[in-house]
Each structure stands twice: as structure tokens, then as C-alpha cells.
Amino acid sequence: MFYLIGLGLGDVKDITVKGLEIIKKCNRVYLESYTSILTVQQETLEEFYGCPLIVADRELVESCADEILPKEDEDVAFLVVGDPFGATTHTDLVLRAKEKDIQVKVIHNSSILTAVGCCGLQLYSYGETVSIPYWTDTWQPDSFYERIISNRQRDLHTLCLLDIKVKEPTLESILKKKKDYMPPKFMSVNEAANQLIEVLNNKIQDSQITELTDQCLAVGLARVGCEDQRIVVCSLQDMTSVDLGPPLHCLVVPAKRMHPLEIEFLKQYALDEKRFKEMTQ
């Protein structure tokens, strides 16, 4: 049996009872380490689960997936932060297993896609989720902007998932075919806001009309589901100066029109309550 087990968003105890029972009986247990992270170290997880964990980085999952799948008379667990189907890579693992006639069982858990409701914006009023990637000197995609605009035109909120870089090879190591990795880094809400504003400025320079401005409302969230969870509501411009501390962060661009209950709930997280009132009238 091949098990995909969601770990939830917070700490070691967020796993379900069912998931923990399965881990304890598996021959091999993998911890997926590149689509998200928990706030605890691998050693803490191993102590709580009572078994060693094999770290599954992007290279292993995407290039050597068959090594992960169980052999005959074996049970294998693949642990995913959040919910197992929060990333398409895990869908690919399921399809590979079924091609080999391996039984698959999924143990679901909380995901940022639903936990983002903690900020007070109603889940059924969200549009397409977007990812904001780190830019480089030679690669600065802005397709996330078009999706945010599309959502706003339909009066829908946008959840922006922010880039993380874990065990990413350096350009030099790729050219030399030598494994050398960059330090891990995790995009913050202020970095995401800066990139979004840069796209806005480029659109304005190109004389394009935009429904989004740097004075539009933005919601920054950090470590959702953890004891030290933080939420801040302010303008997109002010978000460029907000420090929400350690990762993981995500950014929400609310719809132009919000339900009165959404506004009332958001108000408790306003960086400047007077300014918030002006922006939501």
C-alpha cells in the first residue's frame, strides 16, 4: 500500500490519529520537503512518530519517483505538509502507483486553501489561487498579476502562495554538473507586495489601465495554524514594509466589494484602523 498522509499546517501534533497509526506500521516513511515546511525540525517529527524519516526533495520526487513507491509486501508512507493534493506532484505519484497496480490510500488534513479563512474572507468568494515566484535578473514572469485582475473583475478574492526555495541548485553547479545548493529562502509578504507593485508600475508605464493600485487592500498572513500565527491588513504599498517574521507567508488580495461581515472581521487585523475604514467605505 502507498499512503499519502497530510500533516496539517502547524506542528508535529497536527497529524490525524489515522495518519499517525499508519506511519507506525510502514516499512518506509518519506517526508516531502520542497512544496512547504512545518515549524518543527525533522528530529522532532521522528521522535514523535517513532521512526526515521527519509527526506524527499524535489529531485527525488520528480526524477526518481519509482524509488519511492512500495515494492512487493511493503507499505510506504509519503508525508506532505498541509493536504496531499495541494501540489500536482503528488497527483503524479498516485498515477504512477496505479500504473504499477499499487494500492493507494490518502489521509487528508488541513490546507492553506481552507485555513486562509481565518482572516475572515469567505472561502466561497475566492477565485483562482496564484503563485508568486522569486524573480531573477533574467526571469521575471508576471502572469500572477493577470489572474489577480481576472479575480477582481469578478469580485473574487485572490490567495497568493509565495515561493520557497529549498535545496535549489546554484547556476554554477548546474553548468558544472556538480551538486551545490543555494541556502533555503522563503518569500515574505513584503517581498511579494514589492514584486506586485513593480508589475503595476510597468503596466502604468506601458499606458495600460489597471484595476489594481498600490493603495488597494491587502492581507498578509504568516504561519497559519501555528501558535504564533499573524495576520495584518493594510494597503499593498504599506505591506511592502510589514515584517511578519519567520515563514511561511501568504498574501491575499481581497475583492473590490466585500460583505459587511468580511469587513468587520478584517478590521481587527488593520495596521491603521482609520485608514482601513477609509479604504472599505
Res 8: pLDDT: 92
Listed in order, the ranges of the chain carrying CATH 3.40.1010.10 are: 2-110
pLDDT of 262 strictly over 90: yes
Binding site for S-adenosyl-L-methionine: residue ranges?
9, 83, 86, 111-112, 162, 224, 249
135-189 pLDDT, tens per residue? 988 889 999 999 999 999 999 999 999 998 877 666 666 666 667 777 788 999 9
Res 209: pLDDT: 65
Res 71: pLDDT: 92
Mean pLDDT of the chain: 91
Whole-angstrom Cα distance, residue 191 to residue 45? 30
Asked whether the beta carbons of 30 and 78 are under 8 A apart, the reply is yes
Res 177: pLDDT: 67
248: cis peptide before it, omega within 30°? yes
Listed in order, the ranges of the chain carrying CATH 3.30.950.10 are: 113-279
Instruction: Name the β-bridge partners of 163.
Output: none
Res 205: pLDDT: 75
Start-to-end C-alpha separation, the chain = 55
Binding site: residue ranges?
9, 83, 86, 111-112, 162, 224, 249
Whole-angstrom Cα distance, residue 127 to residue 159? 8
201-229 pLDDT, tens per residue? 988 877 676 778 999 999 999 999 999 99
Q: Between these two residues, 173 and 51, which has the higher pLDDT value?
A: 51
| Residue 44 binned pLDDT confidence (cut-offs 50, 70, 90) | very high
73-86 mean pLDDT: 93
Res 176: pLDDT: 67
> How many C-beta atoms surround the C-beta of residue 224 within 10 A?
22
Whole-angstrom Cα distance, residue 83 to residue 77? 14
| Coil vs helix vs strand at 132 | strand
Res 89: pLDDT: 72
Whole-angstrom Cα distance, residue 268 to residue 159? 20
**For residue 183, what is the DSSP state?**
P
Q: What is the CATH number of domain 2-110?
A: 3.40.1010.10
Res 29: pLDDT: 96
Q: Which among 182, 191, 175 has a CA at the least distance from the CA of 247? A: 191
Res 170: pLDDT: 65
113-279: in CATH 3.40.640.10: no
Res 173: pLDDT: 66
266-277 mean pLDDT: 95
Q: What is the SS3 string spanning the chain?
A: CEEEEECECCCHHHCCHHHHHHHHHCCEEEEECCCCCCCCCHHHHHHHHCCCCEEECHHHHHHCHHHHCCCCCCCEEEEECECHHHCHHHHHHHHHHHHCCCCEEEECCCCHHHHHHHHCCCHHHECCCEEECCCCCCCCCCHHHHHHHHHHHCCCEEEEEECEECCCECHHHHHHCCCCECCCEECCHHHHHHHHHHHHHHHHHCCCCCCCCCCCEEEEEECCCCCCCEEEEEEHHHHCCCCCCCCCEEEEECCCCCCHHHHHHHHCCECCHHHHHHHHC
